[in-house]
Amino acid sequence: MPSVPTGCNEELFEAARLSSDSGAIARDFQRYLTQHLGRFIGCVPLYQYEALALTIRDRVMTDWRNTWRRYDEPGVRRAYYLSLEFLIGRSLGNHILNLGLDHETAEAMHRLALNLEEIMSEEVDAGLGNGGLGRLAACFMDSCACLQLPVIGYGIRYQYGMFRQEIENGFQVEEPDHWLRDGNPWELERPEFKNLIRFGGRVEGVTDSQGKRRSAWVDTTDVLAIPYDVPISGHKNHTVNTLRLWSASATSDFNLDDFNAGSYAEALEAKTNAEHITMVLYPNDVSENGKELRLKQQYFLASASLQDVLRMWELSAGRDYRDFKAQNVFHLNDTHPTIAVAELMRLLMDEKGLDWGQAWDITSHCMAYTNHTLLPEALEKWPVALFESLLPRLLQIIFEINARFLRLVAMKWPGQTQRQRRMSIIEEGDTKQVRMAYLAIVGSFSVNGVAALHSRLLSGGLFRDFYELWPEKFNNKTNGVTPRRWVAYANPGMSALITEKIGPDWVHDYAKIAAIAKHAEDAGFKQRWHEVKQANKQRLADMVRHYCQVEFDTEALFDVQVKRIHEYKRQLLNVLHAIHLYDRIKRGDIGHWTRRCILIGGKAAPGYRMAKNIIKLINNVAEVVNNDPQVNGLLKLAFIPNYGVSKMEVICPGTDLSEQISTAGKEASGTGNMKFMMNGAITIGTYDGANIEIMEAVGEGNYFLFGLHAEEVDRERASYDPARLIGQDEDLGRVMHLLRCGHFSTFESNIFDEVIGSLENPRDPWLTLADFRSYIDAQEQVSRAYQKRERWVAMSISNTACSGYFSTDRTISEYNKGIWKLQTRPLDQPSR
């Protein structure tokens, strides 16, 4: 470890810093295993993992405490990232990498005749998210620490994370993910910072001690929020940021009156009810609507986090809130935590005694909102009646915000009552609803989309009225992914090769990755690049064999689509291509054939019937293709169960072709596309989301583009005629015939009727068949390109070399420059 740099204040806990040579790591590991856990070296690997995690955690603690101290200094402006999801995955390997202890740790384990990789694979994924949105939050946390920005993440510590997906007879079966069962060495409970969260009750007008009229929220049912802190280490920079996750707990262990009256079970019931709030993550990747418990989760997160920030504020500033807006910014990850707008108003007025004007000035200057989707079913709305019973005081505040806002709209556009109705935070109708996205826009000083196209579609379409009112609020921040996890950690072979050529700085300064472009035509480098890819493909093939019992040959093209199963992502189009290839093999059209291994993975929301049917279809087609002797390895198809972060860490380095085939205008950004690109996969994709920016970065020659553009999709809709397309395109006709005649559903008659019906429906929102021909042709280009190995490897290198823009370090720098405006807080001049 480097010595503490000059300029750090003496109070920092330097004396406590632990030695980190392999001897010290081995010693501490043995002590944890024997003295703390009471096990021996030869115990089951779970305890080896736990002992190593505690050993590494010790080496994070000093920097963690120092980072808190630095952020707590007066005048430090801070940001708070509020998100219902943080899809973290595993942490041990990530901390080892960030602390720069890879060699020391591996050597320490080696000395004890243990295998580091095996031990690391014991860690269960922290699956506190559904997909892209939650993983983005986790990548953001990593980049904030890498950039030494004072950002605290706030989320929920769900007892049960994203369900575990099993495949039985081709069908998805959900199993609960009790990820905390064996404890979690990465969390630190902080009961000293608990907060009280209130629900229900009613609102009374009262006169306070200064004689002012105030609202009092009374007769509430209360729940405690207990914070658990998770360290987020920066890359070799002595910065450790915090992710603070809230857990619900009853206000007292049980009701003493009930208990003394002999009603033991009833007394415990209140406790169970309270703890339900943080019991389970909602497994829907487009938003959950109308469920009371989900609204409780949202308010629970917002209130606990805001109270926490106000507590910290008063530690230094007391009750003086004049400077609050200059030093604090809250970022809303989608509309899920938007109730924070009303809750901050409530806290400032009802608890801190500010008047409406002061409270609104603070709130509207402290909130920023990111929109993640244009899909109409994802726009969160809550029935007014539900709000009334669960959060009556917040509903009053929302009504008042809306009344003042509508006066502003009326001033700007006098007499345009239609527009006023359209823009109202309250949707009129049989059931009045609160439009959360509108509340977020009205309450925020910044509104952003997550890719250039998406942001344009927001200001030109979905939020057009608001854009016309406040154009200055709207901006774009194209998503990214962290190169630490997704390249340095997930792809050690490629990382070593890159570092050998251009030095190690690319890991924390990812724009530097561009420097490998000049080696794209160097034959020796290309050969080694190819060898690394082949080794990664072998690792992936081993995983596929283990989980799918399907044999992938690394000489074949590895063609991968992993992401949530959703009709707009069009896994169906991928399956149609697989069936088309199968059909070509069956009719002997196999000249100049390129062998392909197609891998598909992803979870379907448990209540999403069509998505579950699609999983069944993939598995049935795989069964037929993989067992037909005539196919003979020309084509393989596998569905990998339980796709998640740690699976992706093996999948993206071993992929040749990345499938990003959503209906144009529907995928807000995508981030899977970026992980694949960084790892040297080539994309076949539509002109959608961040695909567009990927193609611009790498050049059309290194990308396989197909399909309608977003504007063409909208025009096509009126005249879309799937029956005509099927009639005109012989290949498509044959594919549809194989589906219809039950070739993939023998003894399961009609199970795919719904899927077939959706493809043939002239009102199919995803226009799957409209892109069939263009997709099949692009895939044929891919097959030909893969046969020219030299050229393919050059394309692969170019993809990695041009991926600099897609680092979350770039994304977060833009959030900071344009929205948060924080100062970096260096804890050292990093000794990298």
Ligand X SMILES: *Cc1c(COP(=O)(O)O)cnc(C)c1O
Active site residues: 372, 563-564, 569, 671, 675
Q: Which is nearer to ligand X, 398 or 645 (CB)?
A: 645
Span 530-549, contacts to ligand X by CB under 6 A = none
Residue 751 CB, nearest approach to ligand X (Å): 26
Phi, psi of 480 (to 5 degrees): -155, -175
Q: Which is nearer to ligand X, 143 or 363 (CB)?
A: 143
Q: Which residue is nearest to ligand X (CB)?
A: 672
Residue 673 CB, nearest approach to ligand X (Å): 6
Phi, psi of 105 (to 5 degrees): -70, -45
Q: Does 483 bind ligand X (CB under 6 A)?
A: no
Q: Which is nearer to ligand X, 648 or 708 (CB)?
A: 648
**E strand or H helix at 713:** helix 710-719
Of 167, 40, 56, residue with least CA distance to 615: 167
Q: Does 563 bind ligand X (CB under 6 A)?
A: yes
Residue type, 235: H
DSSP string computed for 670-710? -SHHHHHHHTT-EEEE-S-TTHHHHHHHH-GGGSEE-S--H
Contacting residue, 137, 426, 625, 645, with ligand X by CB under 6 A: 645
User: Could you tell me which residues are beta bridge partners of residue 244?
Assistant: 154, 229
**E strand or H helix at 738:** helix 730-740
Contacting residue, 135, 381, 519, 612, with ligand X by CB under 6 A: 135
Q: Which is nearer to ligand X, 537 or 564 (CB)?
A: 564
Q: How far apart are CA 672 and CA 670, in angstroms?
A: 6
Q: Per-residue x/- marks for ligand X, 363-402, CB under 6 A?
A: ----------------------------------------
Residue 216 CB, nearest approach to ligand X (Å): 45
- The stretch near ligand X (CB under 6 A) out of 131-139, 435-443, 528-536, 619-627 is 131-139
The DSSP bridge pattern shows strands 202-207 and 213-218 to be: antiparallel
Q: Which is nearer to ligand X, 129 or 804 (CB)?
A: 129
Residue 499 CB, nearest approach to ligand X (Å): 24
Span 659-678, contacts to ligand X by CB under 6 A = 670-672, 675
Q: Which is nearer to ligand X, 526 or 666 (CB)?
A: 666
Tell me if 789 sits within 8 A of 530, measured CB to CB: yes
Q: How far apart are CA 154 and CA 162, in angstroms?
A: 18
What strand order describes the sheet that includes 426-427? Answer: 381-383, 433-435, 426-427
Tell me if 88 sits within 8 A of 15, measured CB to CB: no
Q: How far apart are CA 448 and CA 368, in angstroms?
A: 8
If binding means CB under 6 A, how many residues of this protein chain bind ligand X?
A: 12
Q: Does 161 bind ligand X (CB under 6 A)?
A: no
Contacting residue, 644, 665, 685, 722, with ligand X by CB under 6 A: 644
Residue 152 CB, nearest approach to ligand X (Å): 23
Residue 532 CB, nearest approach to ligand X (Å): 21
Contacting residue, 132, 227, 480, 804, with ligand X by CB under 6 A: 132
Q: Does 648 bind ligand X (CB under 6 A)?
A: yes
**E strand or H helix at 782:** helix 772-787
Q: Does 131 bind ligand X (CB under 6 A)?
A: yes
- The stretch near ligand X (CB under 6 A) out of 127-135, 255-263, 380-388, 455-463 is 127-135
Locate tokens 């910065």: which residue? 239
Residues 472-506, buried b or exposed e (16+ Cβ, 10 A)?
ebbbbbbbbbbbbbbbbbbbebbbebbeeebebeb
CA atoms within 13 A on the CB side of 29: 28
Residue 661 CB, nearest approach to ligand X (Å): 10
Q: Which is nearer to ligand X, 690 or 739 (CB)?
A: 690
Residue 480 CB, nearest approach to ligand X (Å): 11
Of 692, 662, 663, 658, residue with least CA distance to 673: 658
Q: Which is nearer to ligand X, 88 or 401 (CB)?
A: 88
- The stretch near ligand X (CB under 6 A) out of 105-113, 130-138, 208-216, 620-628 is 130-138
> What's the Cα-to-Cα distance from 535 to each of 232, 248, 528, 529, rounded to whole Å?
31, 46, 11, 10
Binding site for ligand X (CB under 6 A): 131-132, 135, 563-564, 644-645, 648, 670-672, 675
